[in-house]
Structure 1
Amino acid sequence: MMFLLFILLVGIEQCLSISSPVHPFATYKHSVELQVNVADLWWTVNDAETEVVLELHINTTGWIALGISPAGGMTGADIAVGWVDQTGNVYMQDRHALTTAKPILDNTTTDWFVLNGREQDGWTAIQFKRLLDTCDPMDVRIKSGTNNLIFAYGLTDPDLDQPNGDISYHENRRGSRILPLRSYANPPVEAKFAELEYFDFRMNNYLVPSNDTTYYCKMFKAPTNYAVKRHVIAHKILIEPSNRDLVHHLLLHECSPMAKFDDKNLPDGLCNDLAEMLAMCMIVEFPEVAGYPVGAESNIKYYVIQMHYDNPHRIANRRDSTSLRFYLGKELRQYDIGYFTFGLVADPTGIAIPPRVNEFVIDSYCPAIATKNFPESGITVISAFPHTHLQGKFNLHVQK
């Protein structure tokens, strides 16, 4: 028997549409809406994987900026700042952020190169390029895997008569995204799944608190209307267009077969308040190479969705009905999906960050009892997701 091992955090990919009314300068392999009605990004990595061409559109006639960040914030970021003046001239500056203060001009080498730019319908569109690895100590390498992107904009152009071409403060006109620039996979066309059956797990018009961060958990009962085993082969995250800036990410948890709840009063609320009640639920997701089993033969009866809402402006009275849609294949696939979760709990007995240290190492060991049911032939790992947020680095060592 073959076991498939799968660990995944479900990230919200918000590239459901493009806001900009400005037509791009070129055809690109990838595009994403960074913030609804505010910012869009297009990009293509060349075939030799040495250079990336990007095009940034932002809803302003002032300066616009895109940065590659080492950890998701301004500190240490390599930032391209561009603008189009009133006569149509296009400018770009290569800047580096030492802290969260105004980024300085890169005094080593210039590595962001402007290609085209224009203003139209109140938007600024600039096409530019950069090497993936510039070998500049003031730059950040665009690596394989995920990259931390930051963006911001001002309402006026920089004043070139001021020292360093002074740029105005962006205030709250900023954002960030995590994107795999070099390995981004465009989603399949929806027509492929149009005739498939599906079921949804949906938030029910949840009133999101006016806090900057909220973790909300809601339990769902597994579907019971399938008399035989079925395979889920794909999923789609449905976010209301007005809430794309609010939904940061979500996790899908599978509950232990031993878990018992009142089907007429399934728990929901702030995740910390439900932690003890939901202790028997763990992360699960599914890849396309196999199917996740649901239906009469499945012993999983409950699931929990953990929503992370990001509301930095603390806006009140916003409601959300985000849902996960699961598409069922017409035929069973060869393998069921299995999963294996290990690591340390994020509390003082597991992960505790010591004070006044630049870095530290946490060792996590998987005991033999956790793998005693593995077949002698071993297991095949089809995907893995190390979850350490922005600051962590992950190494996995396997000992036979």
Structure 2
Amino acid sequence: MTFLCRLLLLGALAAPSQGNRLGPTSRLRYSRFLDTSNVIFLRWDFDLEAEIITFELQVRTVGWVGLGVTDRYTRAGSDLVVGGVLPDGNVYFSDRHLVDEDTLAEDGSQDAKLLGLTEDAVYTTMRFSRPFRSCDPHDQDITSDTMRVLAAYGPDDTLKLDRERTFVKSIFLLQVVHPDDLEVPEDTIIHDLELVDYLIPEDDTTYACTFLPLPIVSEKHHIYKFEPKLVEHNESMVHHILVYACGNASALPAGINECYGADPAFSLCSQVVVGWAVGGTVSPGAGNMQRPGGTWEAGGLGAAPSSQSSCDQTSLPPQSYQFPDDVGVSIGTPLDPQWIRLEIHYSNFHNLPGVYDSSGIRMYYTPRLRKYDMGVLQLGVFTFPIHFIPPGAESYLSYGLCKTERFLEISGAPVPDIQVFGYLLHTHLAGRALQAVQYRNGTQLRTICKDDSYDFNLQETRDLPHRISIMPGDELLIECHYQTLDRDSVTFGGPSTINEMCLIFLFYYPRNNISSCMGYPDILYVAQELGEEASDPMEAVMVLNNVEWTPETIKKSEKVCKEAQQVVVIKTIDVSVRIQDATPWG
């Protein structure tokens, strides 16, 4: 078996397509800074067919450099490919791993292939390739999940880890569509949807909403790209930005107010059009409002390279999300929304006073029409306190069910099959993994999308490698995996970052008027099975605080929530309908 594995690996490393496309001088399409001081710059690209990924690491040092993959909880066991150039000009290069947090050891199997290693007076640059999966247990797999990329370097050629020169950054490495592959219409028009000089409250969490008109056009146009506009000093406060389409019959309030406060009118409009959140990427091309950084909630890349850096700024991909060339958001027809609700979630955990913000979304649109009008379908667990996660849980799963067989009844018109081309995953700090699973006629058909290594600080809109068809009658089950070992009380669903959410947004075409389809378990049944008495759902939520949460009761709670009947909530652009007869998933 070991011989066969090595033979297959050598064949993959020698694949002609990889050598032709991603050799020692090939352009690598993707790039990121891995540290806030812009000392470590990474370029990469990959060959999905050959399952080979190529990295080029450039570090401002004349010592050794290293790049690898680690996990969420510990650096022990991380893999690290290291290399450098000795003072006499000789090159060293090896595939290694961390025995513990500080000790490097060479792998018994050398699975990285050196493509180039140079050093000048300022930079050491190392290019190498490696398979997505190797036969070496010390090598971590490269997958379509969020990857935690580990980079390290030294001031000289002594291979010794220094915590001040070791960095971890979450990156979605296997991006199947690059912005350079997409068309940019010459007749592009730019329009900004933003708050202006909004005084951020001193509260921990604020959802600020206002209603804004979309561009007035005399004929149909398509929005084909969007990006965030963030005031630099407020980036850390902006948790997410959402744009919701409003029904044209809606009576909308004026001004800026709390989205989910005393005036319910500010929560009108539920059909998500676009969104950004912390950890997504910030556009470098919108003037002094922005810096390169993080699409849906704000980590980031740091500032652009200085003029003295050999890192070419043009190699940085546009930090925005662009729809496929045949898809766009329609505006300008009688069926299209004329107004939107702009929602910005602020997290002012330091309760800073006197901070003004003018953040928002910049959108790009064109009269050159695409083939399909797109929509966004929000799935998951309905966000309110009936969604709960026990404290002290090593692992806990929540489930939200969507029954598409009711779309015809709710929408009042036939709903065609939808073609899903992209997605966005969203939980808060306890989230560890998410997935959307499709069922047809009671049988699991496929996993639409997933991330088994989710990171709150990297929430980006992602493209599917292949478009997926969802037919009326299919059931969509969203599963969210949480960990709450650091918590001593129940975490409830809610809008604050310290609450939780379980949401997946599917980007699809052709557009219909269903905006969301989410579920939640029968909480009275759940409380009863956990040995608590309650006469109504709110009391059932309250008595969960009386449960003695042990590993046994945590697992029982997870099982009971899965077995409980799901209440499904389906919304159109203006209306919400609850369905009580959903199927248990036990």
TM > 0.5: yes
**Equivalent residue of 1:303, what SS?**
strand
Aligned partner of 1:303 in structure 2 is 341
Higher relative contact order (CA 8 A, sep 6+): 1
- Asked if 1:363 corresponds to 2:399, the answer is yes
Residue of structure 2 in register with 1:34 after alignment = 33
**In the TM superposition, what are the counterparts of 1:122-141 in structure 2 within 5 Å?**
122-141=122-141
User: Is 1:180 matched up with 2:173?
Assistant: yes
Q: Separation in 2 of the partners of 1:34 and 1:275?
A: 44
Measured at CA, do residues 370 and 353 of structure 1 come closer, stay the same or move farther in structure 2, by a change above 3 Å? Answer: farther
Give the CA deviation at 1:76: 5.4
Amino acid at match of 2:193: F
The CA deviation string for residues 263-295 of structure 1, in whole angstroms up to 9 with x for no partner, is 3x3248xx9999985475453338332321224
Residue type of the alignment partner of 1:174: F
Q: Deviations over 1:318-346 (max 9, x none)?
A: 99876643222224444432332121146
Q: What is the TM-score of this pair, normalised by structure 2?
A: 0.50
SS of corresponding position for 1:187: helix
Which runs of structure 2 are paired with 1:219-230 in the superposition (5 Å)?
Answer: 219=210, 221-230=212-221
Q: Which has the larger radius of gyration?
A: 2
What is the aligned partner in structure 2 of residue 330 from structure 1?
367
Distance in structure 2 (CA, Å) of the matches to 1:356 and 1:86: 52
In structure 2, what is the Cα distance between the partners aligned to 1:97 and 1:283?
44
CA gap of 1:166–1:342, structure 2 versus 1, over 3 A, is: same
Task: Tell me whether 1:294 sits opposite 2:331 in the alignment.
Answer: yes
Q: Which residue of 2 aligns with 1:8?
A: none
Deviation at 1:55, TM superposition (A): 0.7
SS at match of 1:391: strand
Amino acid at match of 1:53: T
Q: Would the aligned equivalents of 1:30 and 1:186 in 2 still touch at CA under 8 Å?
A: no
2:185 is aligned to 193
- Please list every run of 5 or more consecutive structure 1 residues that lacks an aligned counterpart in the other structure: 1-23, 160-164, 312-316
Taking structure 1 as the reference length, the TM-score comes to: 0.69
Residues in 1 aligned to 2:75 and 2:198: alpha-carbon distance in whole angstroms: 32
Query: Paired residue for 1:120?
Result: 120
Q: Which has the higher strand share?
A: 2
Determine the C-alpha separation between the residues in 2 that align with 1:323 and 1:384. Answer: 22
Say whether the 8 Å CA contact 2:54–2:127 is kept in structure 1: yes
The CA distance in 2 between the partners of 1:113 and 1:79, in whole Å, is 13
Counterpart of 1:82 in structure 2 is 83
Deviations 1:336-369 (A, max 9, x none): 3233212114665325255243x34333211454
In the alignment, the residues of structure 1 paired with residue 112 and residue 329 of structure 2 have an alpha-carbon distance, to the nearest angstrom, of: 44
CA contact (8 A) 2:78 2:140 kept: yes
Distance 2:263 2:108 in 1: 50
Amino acid at match of 1:363: Y
Instruction: Check conservation: 1:342, 1:366, Cα contact below 8 A.
Output: yes
Matched AA of 2:149: I
- Counterpart in the other structure of 1:233: 224
Going from structure 1 to structure 2, the CA distance change for 1:342 and 1:300 (only over 3 Å counts) comes to farther
Q: Identify the structure with the greater helix proportion.
A: 2
Which whole-Å CA distance do the structure 1 matches of 2:262 and 2:113 have between them?
51
Which amino acid letter does the alignment assign opposite residue 42 of structure 1?
Answer: R
Kept after mapping to 2: 8 A contact 1:200/1:324: yes
**Partner Cα distance (2:62, 2:205) in 1:** 33
Instruction: Give, in angstroms, the shift of residue 124 of structure 1.
Output: 1.9
CA spacing shift, 1:370–1:59, aligned 2, 3 Å: farther
The equivalences for 1:269-284 within 5 A come to: 278=267, 280-281=269-270, 283-284=272-273
1:381 is matched with which residue?
419
TM-superposition CA deviations, 1:163-198 (whole Å, max 9, x none)? xx4322236x624132233625243578x3343222
Amino acid at match of 1:365: L
Check conservation: 2:193, 2:212, Cα contact below 8 A.
no
Higher mean C-alpha deviation, range 336-345 or range 43-52 = 43-52
Residue 342 of structure 1 is matched in structure 2 by 379
* Closer, same or farther: CA 216–177 of 1 in aligned 2, 3 Å: farther
For residues 41 and 380 of structure 1, the distance between their equivalents in structure 2, rounded to whole angstroms, comes to: 37
Identity %: 19
Distance change in 2, residues 1:340/1:184 (3 Å): closer
Cα offset, 1:394, TM superposition: 1.2
Contact 1:74 1:150 in 2 (8 A): no
Q: Hey, what's the Cα distance between the residues in 1 that align with 2:250 and 2:147?
A: 38
Equivalent position of 2:243 in the other structure? 253
Instruction: Tell me, yes or no, if the aligned pair for 1:281 and 1:304 is still in contact at 8 Å.
Output: no
Deviations 1:118-163 (A, max 9, x none): 22352221111211110322222112x344142433452353xxxx
Instruction: Count how many residue pairs are aligned between Structure 1 and Structure 2.
Output: 359
Q: Is the 8 A contact 2:65 2:152 kept in 1?
A: yes
Paired AA for residue 392 in structure 1: A
Gaps of 5+ in 2: 1-22, 275-321, 441-472, 474-586
Check conservation: 1:133, 1:142, Cα contact below 8 A: yes
Quote the offset at 1:247 in angstroms: 10
| Partners of 1:31 and 1:40 within 8 A in 2 | no
CA offsets per residue over residues 45-77 of structure 1, 9 Å max, x none? 347423222111122334433223455974654
Distance 2:180 2:424 in 1: 22
- Looking at structure 2, the residues matched to 377 and 302 of structure 1 have their Cα atoms a distance apart, in angstroms, of 23
The equivalent residue for 1:12 is none
